[in-house]
Amino acid sequence: MKFTEITGQPCTGKTSFINNGKLGKTLYYSYSQGIFVKTVNFFRGLFYLDFARLKMLFAWSFNEEASIFFKLNIFRNAVSKFGIYNSLSKKNTSISSFPLVDEGISHLPFLFLNTKTDHILNLIREELETIQVIILKSPGLDEIKDRLKNRGHKRLRFLSLNKFIDMNYKIESLLLNRYSELCNGMKIIDND
């Protein structure tokens, strides 16, 4: 099934972008999950991934600067993204609209801040080849800083604001250069 993922660094406005339907004439629906579907997607991801990839995701999760509980949540979140991918890629339907996934597999580099982005891209290379990705670019350093100060982010309990922003900007820059060659399709949207 054709589906698209949207990614970008935290506080770029991904969820607002989806909710405002800013994709022009393209028909899509926002892929959403309740607690039951989240749990099912975690188990789908466990069965989809081989042991070597699960082991890498687990190691990368525990390489993050966070509490043990938060590291386990990062692992659960990462595995669930593969469950979503597995579920949507198997669906064969002739509907005229397609699902838009907020922070799917293409978002993993922003989840693993302490892992080299190239290692993550190698892990998800096969999946990326089948995914169309929208990257919502940062609206600028000052705007991101203001949004993070106002909205907050769970990672700021473990990282300074400046370090968090710096790490995410480096990832964004690399993805803007690499996703055009790795993904099935890529669209960059400036967030003004």
HEC letters along 135-165: EECCCCHHHHHHHHHHHCCHHHHCCCHHHHH
Is the pLDDT at 95 greater than 60? The verdict is: no
Contacts with 32 (C-beta within 8 Å, 6 or more apart), sequence order: none
What average pLDDT score do residues 111-131 get?
A: 96
pLDDT at 129: 95
Taking residues 37-63, what's their average pLDDT?
A: 96
Average pLDDT over residues 99-118: 94
Extract the tokens encoding 176: 């803007």
Task: Reply yes or no on whether the pLDDT at 164 is more than 80.
Answer: yes
Closest by CA position to 106, among listed 14, 13, 20, 1: 14
Contact 183, 131 (CB under 8 A): yes
pLDDT, residue 93, reads 54
**pLDDT at residue 18, rounded to an integer:** 74
Strands 98-102 and 28-30: parallel
- pLDDT higher than threshold 60 for residue 66: yes
- The per-residue pLDDT for 29 is 64
pLDDT tens per residue, range 74-91? 999 999 999 999 988 877
State whether the Cα torsion 82-124-69-138 is positive or negative. negative
Kindly report, residue by residue over 14-25, the tens digit of the pLDDT. Answer: 877 777 665 655
Please indicate whether residue 96 or residue 137 has the higher confidence score (pLDDT). 137
Beta bridge partners of 189: 136
Please report which confidence band the pLDDT of residue 71 belongs to, taking 50, 70 and 90 as the band edges: very high
Hey, is 136 helix, strand or coil? strand
Q: What angle do CA 39, 182, 62 make, to 5 degrees?
A: 45
Kindly report the average pLDDT of the chain as a whole number: 89
What number is the average pLDDT over the span 66-78?
97
* pLDDT for position 116: 97
